[in-house]
Chains A and B, each alone.
Chain A
Amino acid sequence: MLSLPIFLVASLVKIVLVILILLTAVAYTVWLERKVVGHIQNRWGPTRVGPFGLLQPLADGIKFLVKEDLTPPHVYKPLFIAAPMIAVVCALSSIAVIPFGTTVTLLGYQIPLEITDVNTGLLVILGITSVGVYGVALAGWSSNSKYSLLGGLRASAQMVSYEICLGLSLVGVLIVAGSFSLREIVDAQRGHFWGFLPKWNILYGGQIIAFFIYLTAAYAETNRIPFDLPEAETELVAGYHTEYSAMKFAMFFMAEYANMITVACLATLLFLGGWHGPVFGPPLLQAILPVIWFVAKVFVFLFLYIWVRGTLPRFRYDQLMAFGWKFLFPLAIANVVVTALIVAYRSSL
């Protein structure tokens, strides 16, 4: 155990570091997306600011800060201002319970690589993301514009529907691991099946189905293509953030990408064994490698997000609802039943 002052200092340093890294990651995910989608569409993407356009996020940030912050006269002001704040606060705070690696020993103190270890960590993330819907819904309502309202309505209906599938897809993992703590779930995935196959949850029983349900529901939860109907620009101008400009718009943008990163982290922790991977080399490398494995797996998910965006067209709204309720939902329930039977059978042996 750490003493109180050291605990406070360590926590503060971790909070500042994690938020800084998250915001940088958000900025560079935007850059990566523009670059990759550009190459998919046979364009170059950003090239002008810095080498390979690497300073583009910085230029965008300055642009967001100095642009005029318009507030249309007909909006309901308190909620119009609060909505982007709710969105960004919920998106940034869910990173607090995500572990990035094992504990490190620094100056003789054991410091776990996460802001806080809650024994209901997984549920905390689900809770925070479920509150995050208010940001989008209230933005749509308070803007007092038909496009925003339709976007907000779509977002709240879609997110409530897919949250059920998201939650159910995680039940299988919970049954296998027997804990809500993300650290314990990752620790349960240490080792190998038959000596060579990593003992990740995705390879356990029918969890690969759960993985795809999770991925689909998570894309819908983060309002990404092919489920980005709340901001479908062909029908709704820009959906729920039509009336927003400058930094308020940027806050929605940041919230979307921060949510993508959280979803990618969660997928890594729950299905791909978190920071587990081959560890070798000198002691310093051994200390860093788990974090590198974690970041690499998260990067794969982020790249997948962008790849899907560059590949798939958007669903129609009734297709989206029918797919969620008539296909994903029964499949998720079936997966829970089958996983429970497998675990019960194995424990009865």
Chain B
Amino acid sequence: MLHLVLFLVFGAICVAGAINLLAQTHPISSALSLVVVMASLAVEYLLLGAEFVAVVQVIVYAGAVMVLFVFVIMLLNAGREERTQGSRIATILGIPGVLAGGLLVAWALLERSDTGAVGLGSLPGYPKTIGGLLFHEFLLPFEVTSILVLIAIMGAVVLASKPGTRTPPAGKES
């Protein structure tokens, strides 16, 4: 009972944070709303019995990714966004489109709810089970993801280093 109430409360906070993220005009406020979304998602994972995923959600998303977002916003000193009218098609089709998509996903989940779903609390946060899952059962997805991340890092390095402006590595001299 308490689980359900908490789940609904944090679900509401999550949705409210997501709406606030869109409504705010200042980048920092938007980024902080996203932190709220990430944190309440972590609580939802916790309530579903996935402790490890919940804590990793906080460490990686709320703690590292969003700090970098805030860092970049601070570094660029981004000001308020300007409101534009937006496209008319988006205003007309936006909300019905989201509703239709949501209903489709909900229907698909309800249709196939008996296949491959993880039971509540069947994945306790022990390093051994997590290691077993990562390096036995889901080894291929895990390794493919790592290659994906590596490519992303290489892309970031290529984008960050402008051609022709290579400077000697700092920090070694003096």
Contacts and interface: CB of A to CB of B under 8 A. Distances in A.
B71 A130 contact: no
Given A120-B52, A120-B125, A149-B74, A79 B28 contact: yes
Contacts of B32: 79, 134, 138
B125 A133 contact: no
A209 interface: no
A119 B51 contact: yes
Nearest to A120: B125
Nearest to A174: B127
A157 B55 contact: no
B68 interface: yes
Contact of A130 (B59, B75, B171): B59
Contacts of B55: 120, 123-124, 126-127
A127 B59 contact: yes
Contacts of B62: 127, 130-131
A127 B61 CA distance: 10
A279 B171 CA distance: 50
Interface residues of A, dominant DSSP: helix
B52 A134 contact: no
Contact of A137 (B52, B70, B170): B70
Interface residues of B, number: 29
Nearest to A119: B125
A153 interface: yes
B64 interface: yes
Interface in B62-111: 62-64, 67-68, 70-71, 74-75, 77
B116 to A, nearest CB: 25
Contacts of B74: 137, 140-141, 149, 152-153, 156
Contact-residue size bin, chain A (C-beta under 8 Å from the other chain): 20 to 34
Nearest to A149: B74
A131 B171 contact: no
Contact of A131 (B56, B63, B172): B63
A114 interface: no
B63 A133 contact: yes
A145 to B, nearest CB: 13
A159 B59 CA distance: 12
Contacts of B59: 123, 126-127, 130, 167
A178 B4 CA distance: 32
Nearest to B66: A134
Given A127-B59, A141-B74, A157-B71, A119 B124 contact: yes
A130 B58 contact: yes
Contact of A178 (B124, B125, B128, B169): B128
B70 A131 contact: no
A131 B71 CA distance: 14
Contacts of B75: 153
Contacts of B67: 130, 133-134, 137, 156, 159-160
Contact of B64 (A79, A152, A160, A179): A160
A321 B169 CA distance: 12
Interface string A161-195: 00100010000001100111000000000000000
Interface string B21-55: 00000001000100100010000000000011001
Interface in A321-338: 321-322
Nearest to B52: A120
A318 interface: yes
B32 to A, nearest CB: 8
Given A126-B63, A131-B63, 16 more contacts: A79-B28, A119-B126, A120-B51, A120-B125, A123-B55, A127-B55, A133-B63, A134-B35, A137-B71, A153-B74, A156-B67, A160-B71, A163-B63, A319-B171, A322-B169, A322-B171
9 contacts: A120-B52, A120-B55, A131-B39, A149-B74, A160-B71, A163-B63, A178-B126, A180-B52, A180-B127
